[in-house]
Structure 1
């Protein structure tokens, strides 16, 4: 399971960053030079998304206020009150927005489906596998939090070193009876600006790294808890990569209740047929495919029962 967890994390990182999950010769080079920048970019986008929403909303309201005030006489005091409400009122509403409006920024249907495919590909189906994977991911999350704390120590140590050096400079000047001239003040101010810029950059990088890691790990915890609930409710996910029938070759995914093995207990998530140009996704709601699905369901049930008895 340790090896599986590593492979699952690597594939999930590739999916999160928009790269192919398949292994290649360039993958180690990408992981070393490209992935860190892309990882920070994803985290920075998630971190600044509320600010982008606030900026766009405030700008749109201020434009409407400007157009409205230009067409009618409005006291300056009223205009200033409404102007500040457009800025600070929206900021207040966005700051204290309900969790449902921001908790799932990183989790989308596409990303969850990719994670499901990765778990199916690595054979994480049983309850014991899910629990082992969850325990390993908890350890990974602890390592991530430890690394973030280390980054905080680096920033704090950098400021401590800067203040210590600046204090030594002042003490040296006081002992040597030299006056604090403009050149010393200018150089000190430039050094202070460099330290502030470094701190801002380091904090942004640290928050971006933390946000991207949360997006990666939190999606797994939500999905694994849902999978545990399904297993404890005697519902099992399945992903049949290839099933041969007299009326075609199909690739099917969905779930079924193995404690009540009936055709009615099978729920199809997706169904694809192998055509001349490769796999073609079928529309489950189409009347044209309803008869095909009805003929396929008994074969799926036999396949699932055979696979379940062999486990």
Structure 2
């Protein structure tokens, strides 16, 4: 005889599945600009709140659903911690072992009716957890990362000219990037993508200019704890026609919104493409029409 699933069970299962999606979406930090610390803390608060809710409900299967979603919140919390903090293998082992002991202990206590919470106590506990969550979000909103890009006033386009190639190429320092976290909590950082271009030349199509970081973007830290700072050197790599009027000259450096600008004399433009990169990522997430 084929197993059957009644409509109530199906709806409960769908609710649990959507709860998992909600928790995973929250942990992805796409919709909420929260710090790593507060995101993890709120996931743990959600686990405790759902666990208390399940203990206070004495009606099947609502208590089971609450326990299921609480377990999912804990799994998402543990996965988020592992993905963001990259703990050592021994730490992961301890976390998994402690989690196994926690849930086995909770199951035993429920079976023996040793873990009960009356509704009045549950309400007070949930109000306390809600207040703690609001306080965490409020504290998290104080301050933000400080990103500073300091550029040199000018750069000399001096390099080497291979005998077999009519080009001049070189690699020079043009500034520094500094990102500091003055806030209370650990935060993810996003190193701004920079673009370089040379304006004011006779033929910009034949010039190749690139601004990069040293160390590279992917080699820099992806998160900063309180009062931590990360720095990187901005470097200019250029490849110019040997007969270009700018080869061997010293040219000024300017910040610009885009490379689609003109200058009366050779000028190195440094463009922050953060907004363009974010807009491109948003557009890629939209369904094709």
- Structure-2-length-normalised TM-score: 0.26
Higher strand share: 2
Q: Which has the higher helix share?
A: 1
Give TM-score, length-normalised by structure 1: 0.25
**Larger relative contact order, structure 1 or 2 (CA cutoff 8 Å, min sep 6):** 1
